[in-house]
Structure 1
């Protein structure tokens, strides 16, 4: 039986349904949940011909990304608590979510990754390669894909 489940979320409707299902499973089995959100990196500031910017642009973007992370994890945590389970929250920042998801599972001693089949990318994920497929291909621990 799985004892510690990593549940990635991106705030999409399917992702939140996945969180709810993972929370129900955790409640039924007594497993712990670690929620993870992979926050995109803030775009690098640049200077060049025609660039329009202000001194606080990078900080403003970073603040908005952090606020989005908090809102997404708040919604996911609400699903977990409603199911009677408990969780901890993790935010990682980077451009390769699948690598950060797998690394977080290792760091936190998770024995299962419980993922939605698609995130925000929808059909375009099929063209670009979904993060779920990448996690499935590279994870050394079991991955449960919820559709």
Structure 2
């Protein structure tokens, strides 16, 4: 059925639970996994107040990249424990949902397996949902784990 699964992860507890289910799903179906971490790019005004230097964007990118690599290393270890073939991918993106869809398409994935943070009401309206955006815009099947 599915041969190559993209599993976006942000390192959160919900994302970790979905990742574990994705690994078991891949093992049972004989699929391989590409773990993907899309760190959201900081803009000039994100949490910086009045303090800003020319090095700040590069420093923030380096920190986001380091965190992404830690998250992906843990995901890779999980897959290896279950004998599931995997690769890891990361990207700094202004719109993580678009990066998830792009990664799935670019790497030939036939399923996106991701967590839903379950935001409702005002939180969902204000914060949005990367999962909802992936569901809305993806032409690749999406399996949402709650």
More deviation in 63-72 or 125-134? Answer: 125-134
For the 8 Å contact 2:41–2:94, the answer to whether it is kept is: yes
Q: Which residue does the alignment assign to 1:16?
A: 16
How many equivalent residue pairs? Answer: 141
Task: Supply the distance in 1 between the matched residues of 2:53 and 2:129 (Cα, whole angstroms).
Answer: 35
1:51 is displaced (CA, Å) by 4.5
Task: Supply the distance in 2 between the matched residues of 1:115 and 1:125 (Cα, whole angstroms).
Answer: 19
1:146 is displaced (CA, Å) by 0.7
User: What is the TM-score normalised by the length of structure 1?
Assistant: 0.85
What's the C-alpha RMSD, in Å, of the aligned pairs? 2.1
1:83 is displaced (CA, Å) by 2.3
| Structure 2 unaligned blocks of 5 or more | none
Q: Which residue does the alignment assign to 1:139?
A: 138
For the 8 Å contact 2:65–2:92, the answer to whether it is kept is: no
Q: Which residue does the alignment assign to 2:65?
A: 66
Structure showing greater Rg: 1
Check if 1:84 corresponds to 2:83.
Answer: yes
Task: Supply the distance in 1 between the matched residues of 2:100 and 2:39 (Cα, whole angstroms).
Answer: 11
1:55 is displaced (CA, Å) by 5.5
* Secondary structure of 2:41's aligned partner: coil
1:21 is displaced (CA, Å) by 0.6
User: What is the TM-score normalised by the length of structure 2?
Assistant: 0.85
Q: Which residue does the alignment assign to 2:32?
A: 32
1:35 is displaced (CA, Å) by 0.7
For the 8 Å contact 2:8–2:35, the answer to whether it is kept is: yes
Q: Deviations over 1:78-119 (max 9, x none)?
A: 222222212111112212111111111110111000011118
For the 8 Å contact 1:33–1:88, the answer to whether it is kept is: yes
| Structure 1 unaligned blocks of 5 or more | none
Q: Deviations over 1:15-57 (max 9, x none)?
A: 0111111011111111010111101214338xxxx94445643
Shift of the 125–69 alpha-carbon distance from structure 1 to 2, 3 Å rule, reads farther
Please list, as runs of the form range in 1=range in 2, the aligned pairs for 1:104-115 lying within 5 A after superposition. 104-115=103-114
